[in-house]
Chain A
Amino acid sequence: MQTLLFLILFPILVACLLLFVKRTTSRYAVVALSALAIGGASVYLLVRYASGGAVYFAASSEATDIVMVAIEMALALFIIVMGVKFRNYLAIALAVVQAALVVYLETTFAGSLHAANNLFVDQFSIIMALIIGIIGSLIAVYGVRYMETYHHHHPEVRDRQRMFFFVIFAFLAAMFGLVFSNNLMWVFFFWEVTTIASFVLIGYSETEEATTNAFRALVMNLLGGVAFVAALIFLAATGPTSGGVDLALVLASGDAAVILVPAVLIGFAGITKAALMPFSSWLLGAMVAPTPVSALLHSSTMVKAGVYILVRFAPVFAGTFAGLSVGLVGAVTFVVASAIAISRSDAKSVLAYSTIANLGLIAACAGVGTYMLVWAAILLIIFHAVAKSLLFLGTGAIEHRIGSRNIEDMEGLIVRMPKMAVMMFIGIAGMFLAPFGMLVSKWAAIEAFVQAPFGLVFIAILAYGSAVTVFFWAKWMGKLVAVTRGTERIEKGFLEEPWVPLYITTAIVILVVFLFPVISTALIEPYVFVIYGMTAHLAQANVAIMLLMISLLLILPISFSLFRKSAKRLPVYMGGRPATPELQFAGSLGMTREAQTQNYYLTGYFGEARLYWPGAVVCIVLILASWVFAGVAL
């Protein structure tokens, strides 16, 4: 248990320490060392607890519960103050409602708010802990240099880096707490902390846009929070049959109808936190935050908490119409968000929509909840966290170097920033190409849905969504590898860019392809087996083929050196018109014109304006349906 407590409490200590560290070099040292400690502890956790199933710890303490409630009230007060300051009354209202419900919960059910074991660790928590501990720490390290450059480029933004890193590490602590808590009251507490962290970090630059978006995120997440408390009240009221606030007892409860109601409500909280439709707009808006925030909160960890809780409740959702509805919300989000991503030219916007889409896919797997789907969902969580964080970190570094995060401006990046371009290439490949992880997970999901009830609906949606993702990722890749002529290399040396976190994350993306059979056997399959009594895995033959593919992919670039010398260079075909290497040619009226290539964005067909509302409406109907089904079952 010491490891668990270390992982939860140590980041808080670091956070407090960072409140006092002013210089970037010292901050870098503190963050880097802490990252090593946290990462190391996560790995130690893996080693210690990987084999053996779930382990529970009482960790009971009256003081902890009181402190949590106190902090929750303080946070509510903070929201009210901010709401008054920025005149956002919806936030105030929701905060008040949530706080009132918490008070009601604490007072009415004071006796039933205990769990036999407050903390636990099982393979799924280990996986989440590894993601938070390794990827999260890497992002924090990246953030130090990034924020220094950020303030260089944005002198008008007030330098609140100490607060920034305090919140980052407090957030890491909260995430650890979330995945290690067996007591749902504790889960709720950490959940709320992440909401506030997101709110504060999105509004970091204090511009009007940032503040508006921060409040939008806050409001939507508070909505989820209210649902969460409602679920807690229901659980406390039905204590004996439902298992109360003890997660393990709830999942093991024999009364399926009773636990379906809180499952759907907590699932709703998960939907808002994971920015599934119709709540996707907050994640889009959150992209105004500095890149480390987008990488950490809004792609690899916080939003993962939303789907994490959905996957935890997957056994409850399995075989129910309510679960099916929740799953469909995810599936519809997947296809609509992927389609809209085609029309976006801002890199972070594409990444955001892709994140929303993939979270939708994970939710779809969790909602239908068969053993194969849970296996696929966890695979998706791992691979998405890894690849997406690389892409966000890369985009941030590129933005600082070229001054833009528009994909069109990234044309020819392979010439201007070769190392960066290769890393982005690997990251994007990691998102949709075989044999990389996301493809493997998507493949697993398809094979799993085929064997699930009503699976055909999901397969149909998945087929279209998958086709669409190929389009927008491949065209981005194309922009990166265009070998433009007449451009010079602007990549800088080792100290000016945050190379270390980037290299490590890239290495991890490649490594997980080699390691995923091991990860599956050691961690995912035991977890699934314990819950369902059977488990899924990838056939040996397929694993061998994928290893062959990744090996080929690593070997083939050697051919570059073979091609280098012998061939003669020809100009590009410009209809016979002679042109300079930069594609400038003598146009009509004697003017020199330049040929420019731009990707297709097809906004008329795939634009947000066209696709968002139909998708949102469908999802609203589905969410309401899930509540109806859960209520009816009761």
Chain B
Amino acid sequence: MSSMAFLKRSPWILHYDASSCNGCDIEVLACLTPLYDIERFGIINTGNPKHADILLITGGINEQNRPVVKNLYEQMPEPKVVVAIGACAATGGIFRECYNITGGVDKVIPVDVYVPGCAARPEQIIDGVVTALGILEEKRMKMTGEATRPAAGVGEER
């Protein structure tokens, strides 16, 4: 089963705007359009954390959505990855000095991939998601106790 690598071929995303200006969000949604068509990779935009593998998050995070982001992250079943899209999600971007902005997603939840840009381009976003898929696969293997080398030990059991 493990050699089939299902997770890489069927990553479902959850897209959340954490106090973003919507610029990056529009680019994310552009990826879903026929022009870039990420469904050909099996990617579906589910609006439900319990169904999602990848959390695409934009924006710098403020006090209102800090608990929401945590809540969404916790509701996603393992294995999961977080892709922070755009400059705001990485560091807070141009809003970093604002009183309400926490300054980056990694201040609230662990981030696996950062996609730079303001706004990030669809090609970069897709690139980021593909990188995330690799990380996702690693996490899955760790979760099921497999190793990358045949002679490796038992690994973590669940």
Contacts and interface: CB of A to CB of B under 8 A. Distances in A.
Contacts of B131: none
Contact of B50 (A570, A577, A578): A570
Contacts of B86: none
Contacts of B67: 577-578
B68 interface: yes
Interface string B71-98: 1101101000000000000000000000
Contacts of A568: 77
B45 to A, nearest CB: 16
A515 B108 CA distance: 62
A573 B68 contact: no
Nearest to B68: A576
Interface string A285-297: 0000000000000
Contacts of B71: 571, 576-578
A64 B49 CA distance: 77
A570 B68 CA distance: 14
Nearest to B71: A578
Interface string B29-67: 000000000000000000011100000000000000101
A570 B67 CA distance: 15
Contacts of A576: 16, 49, 65, 68-69, 71-72
B58 to A, nearest CB: 15
A578 B75 contact: no
Given A578-B67, A578-B71, A573 B16 contact: no
Contacts of B77: 568, 570
Contacts of B72: 576
14 contacts: A568-B77, A570-B74, A571-B71, A571-B74, A571-B75, A573-B48, A573-B50, A576-B16, A576-B65, A576-B69, A576-B71, A576-B72, A577-B71, A578-B70
A257 B65 CA distance: 81
Interface residues of A, number: 7
In terms of DSSP, what is the predominant structure of the interface of chain B? helix
A565 to B, nearest CB: 12
A573 B71 CA distance: 9
A571 B70 CA distance: 12
Given A576-B68, A578-B67, 12 more contacts: A568-B77, A570-B77, A571-B74, A571-B75, A573-B49, A576-B49, A576-B65, A576-B69, A576-B72, A577-B71, A578-B70, A578-B71
Nearest to A575: B68
B126 to A, nearest CB: 25
Contacts of A573: 48-50, 75
Interface in A562-590: 568, 570-571, 573, 576-578
B49 A578 contact: no
Interface of B: 16, 48-50, 65, 67-72, 74-75, 77
A568 to B, nearest CB: 8
Nearest to A566: B158
A447 to B, nearest CB: 42
Max count, chain B CB within 10 A of own CB: residue among A568, A571, A578: A578
A183 to B, nearest CB: 69
Nearest to B73: A576
A610 B50 CA distance: 42
A573 B49 CA distance: 8
A578 B49 CA distance: 13
The 4 closest A-B pairs by CB, nearest first: A576-B68, A578-B71, A578-B67, A576-B72
A190 to B, nearest CB: 61
Contact of A570 (B69, B70, B75): B75
A63 B137 CA distance: 93
Contacts of B50: 570, 573
A19 B48 CA distance: 65
Nearest to B75: A570
A570 B72 CA distance: 11
Nearest to A586: B67
A481 B133 CA distance: 39
A548 to B, nearest CB: 31
Contacts of A577: 67-68, 71
A578 B72 CA distance: 9
A584 to B, nearest CB: 14
A577 B67 CA distance: 7
A451 B77 CA distance: 55
Contacts of B74: 570-571
Nearest to A576: B68
A573 B75 CA distance: 8
A270 B75 CA distance: 59
A204 to B, nearest CB: 52
Nearest to A571: B75
Nearest to A572: B75
A306 to B, nearest CB: 52
B50 to A, nearest CB: 6
Max count, chain B CB within 10 A of own CB: residue among A571, A573, A576: A576
A570 B80 CA distance: 15
A566 to B, nearest CB: 9
A600 B105 CA distance: 40
A576 B16 CA distance: 10
Nearest to A577: B68
Nearest to A570: B75
Nearest to A579: B71
Contacts of B75: 570-571, 573
B67 to A, nearest CB: 5
A576 B18 CA distance: 11
B141 to A, nearest CB: 20
Contacts of B48: 573
A568 B49 CA distance: 15
A422 to B, nearest CB: 28
Nearest to A567: B77
A568 B50 CA distance: 12
A576 to B, nearest CB: 4
B55 to A, nearest CB: 11
B93 to A, nearest CB: 22
A570 B49 CA distance: 11
Contacts of B69: 576
B62 to A, nearest CB: 14
A578 B70 CA distance: 9
Interface in A452-484: none
A478 B22 CA distance: 40
A298 to B, nearest CB: 46
Nearest to B76: A570
A455 to B, nearest CB: 47
A577 B16 CA distance: 13
A224 to B, nearest CB: 57
Interface in A133-166: none
A111 to B, nearest CB: 82
Nearest to A568: B77
Contacts of B16: 576
